[in-house]
Structure 1
Amino acid sequence: MNIQSKLSVTYILLLIIGIITISAYAILSIRFFLFAAGLDEFKNDMRIVRQAVESSDENTDFFPFITETTALFDYDLALFDSTGIPIYNTQPEQVYVDSREFLSEVVVDSVLGSNEEIYVMNDPTYSRLVAFAKVDDGFPSVSYLRISKDKEEYYEAVDNIRHIIYAGMLFSIAAVMVVSFIFSKYMAAPIKQLNDAALNIADGQTHETLEMDRNDEFGTLATSLNKMAERFKK
């Protein structure tokens, strides 16, 4: 492998590693930002759903009303009495519901001890985002409510953004390969000239002068080779 190929491969590898690292960081940053924004929206939606529950009473067509309200936000909802027994759930009975979505003593303490009596449970080991809230007014026997949603729904926008980033990454890699080839060719040219001149001098061809108008180390080496050729002529 000649010097140009070595330089080209080195530049390409370094720049590709940089591009991939930056792209991965961008995706993770966007993912984190979207989930953080979704978490705030989730808590705000809990306030709205609780307000809808508290604005209802026994004279309201309660359960259909709550189902329609929750469907607007695309959440699963459950209502509990004061003892934690579920009295209504939008999820079908045959659907498995994780124990973390039921009202336990720990959850009740967290709800009552939290600001606005709303407790958002974001368990890293659980795939769903869950929120519980205390209900003070509204339909009799309803004391607590729960809404939940799959976390992946907050990351759907990342998939589209990821495709854009990947396309940009591939374009950048292609551009890097072209630029690296041109740059390595530029960097290798004076080295090749010096190498050819040194070989010519070693073969006794001292009649040629190396023309290299540079102010860097390459120019200094060219001047030294020309002086060496002049001495061999004598």
Structure 2
Amino acid sequence: MRYFPAVAIGLSAVAIGWPATAQTRPLCFEPGTAQLTAGAYATVREVGLEMQTGPGRWPHAVLGGGVADDAPAMDRERIDQILLELIRVGVGVGRVKIEPSAYKATDCLPLAVVRDGPPYLAISEFAAIFFPERLAEVAPDWRRRMRFIVADYQPGRTVYRVQGYADTAGSAAASMAISRRRADNVASELIRQGVRWDDIVVEAFGETRLARPTPDGTAEPLNRRVVVDVRSRPAASPR
């Protein structure tokens, strides 16, 4: 089972300093776009192979060009594209650290592999998608972030358990109904992003199992959520 932090929202960076001795390689984009060049795709594949087979203890990747939440959409999309490609070649997002870099002013970002270092979770994967009060639609920003949990999807082998919840602001019946709609909408978004329905389990819990316990009749943002639990389906036993 893959573990996601219980209340992690989106992505967060841990700044521990750019590695002075690590060899950096540029990952370049087609000018003015978030499309990686053919050479950048090849570099990502090389990095993935090195991190899985190379020497060293706790190898991790360091990506330059970290951006703030209010950065231009292009900057955020470029970081996202690199992270998605690293996930696709087997580098868990928890093994990537984002650092500020002067490369951000160009069409290239630097990527380095650090062979030895302490274990840490530099980038947090979200476990929950949150909703405004009385709403069940998945917001565009959350749809964008959901790409990270489907990037390494393997049909027939990956299972997404989608669990909907609500706060205690409404009646128990209303809370159950909206938690189900939220879970259904997240499941529909997973399907839109390429996940087969057979690999999704949808559950609704209404105002039970509150992330933050509250009295009845309380609107609480942390309780209006859908948790996506990603697991590997056990291999079938040989007959």
TM-score tier after normalising by the smaller chain length: under 0.3
Query: Between Structure 1 and Structure 2, which shows a larger proportion of helix residues?
Result: 1
Query: Between Structure 1 and Structure 2, which shows a larger proportion of strand residues?
Result: 2
TM-score, normalization: structure 1?
0.25
- Structure showing greater Rg: 1
TM-score, normalization: structure 2?
0.24
